[in-house]
A = this chain, B = another copy of it.
Amino acid sequence: MSTRERLVESTRALLWERGYVGTSPKTIQQRAGAGQGSMYHHFTGKEDLAQAAIRRTADEMRAAVDAQLSGPGTAVERITAYLRRERDVLRGCPIGRLTQDPDVIAVPTLRAPVEETFSWLRERLAAVVREGLDRGELDAAVDPASTAAAIVAALQGGYVLARAAGTPDPFDQAVTGILALLGARTVH
């Protein structure tokens, strides 16, 4: 892996663990095994590097989620597979956590990928709900947009509760709860 690559990967890991405010250029360099000079040769500074890291994380997440939601099965089955997939819950969501970083929210180039990711995710889930409606799997009274927002929110909030508790249990409970509510809207 090139030095440039190692810098991006190192930044991705640190942004996930400590956020933007909590991550220093020095730490990034040490983790990447690169010197000051290398970092400032490949990137104009911390912000530039963070932007590359966030974009990559966003792209990866999007691809992974899309693959999972595009699989076979009913709408509820695919949503269930997505919510219940293997996760390192206590690490939280690498994109969602950036939302609490005042400097990420304040800088448009850093916030843009975060904004795009979640707006895409809500729309993607809404599309799955719509498919369920079209196929007659779900009660016609279910609203795609707000239901999709509730599902994504339950997931993101699940991470918050799990980190507060120090255990993944509340995450699993939240997922179970939202899926039970959704399952009750299934047409048998």
Q: Which residue numbers of A lie inside 8 Å of B, CB to CB?
A: 17-19, 21-22, 92, 95-97, 99-103, 105, 111, 114-115, 117-119, 122, 139, 141-143, 145-158, 160-161, 163-166, 170-171, 173-178, 180-182, 184-185
Copies in the complex: 2
Q: Are B173 and A149 closer than 8 Å at their CB atoms?
A: yes
* Minimum CB–CB distance for A107 against chain B, Å: 12
Q: Are B150 and A154 closer than 8 Å at their CB atoms?
A: yes
Q: Are B161 and A152 closer than 8 Å at their CB atoms?
A: yes
Q: Are B160 and A148 closer than 8 Å at their CB atoms?
A: no
Q: Which residues of B contact A143 (CB under 8 A)?
A: 176-177, 180
Known: A19-B100, A154-B178, A177-B150. A122 touches B184 (CB 8 A): no
Cα distance, A75 to B161, chains bound together (Å): 22
Q: Contacting A17 at CB < 8 Å: which of B22, B102, B149, B171?
A: B102
Q: Which residues of B contact A119 (CB under 8 A)?
A: 164-165
Q: Are A153 and B166 closer than 8 Å at their CB atoms?
A: no
Q: Are A149 and B122 closer than 8 Å at their CB atoms?
A: no
* Minimum CB–CB distance for A119 against chain B, Å: 7
Known: A150-B181, A180-B146. A22 touches B174 (CB 8 A): no
Cα distance, A166 to B139, chains bound together (Å): 32
Q: Are A18 and B152 closer than 8 Å at their CB atoms?
A: no
Q: Contacting A147 at CB < 8 Å: which of B158, B164, B177?
A: B177
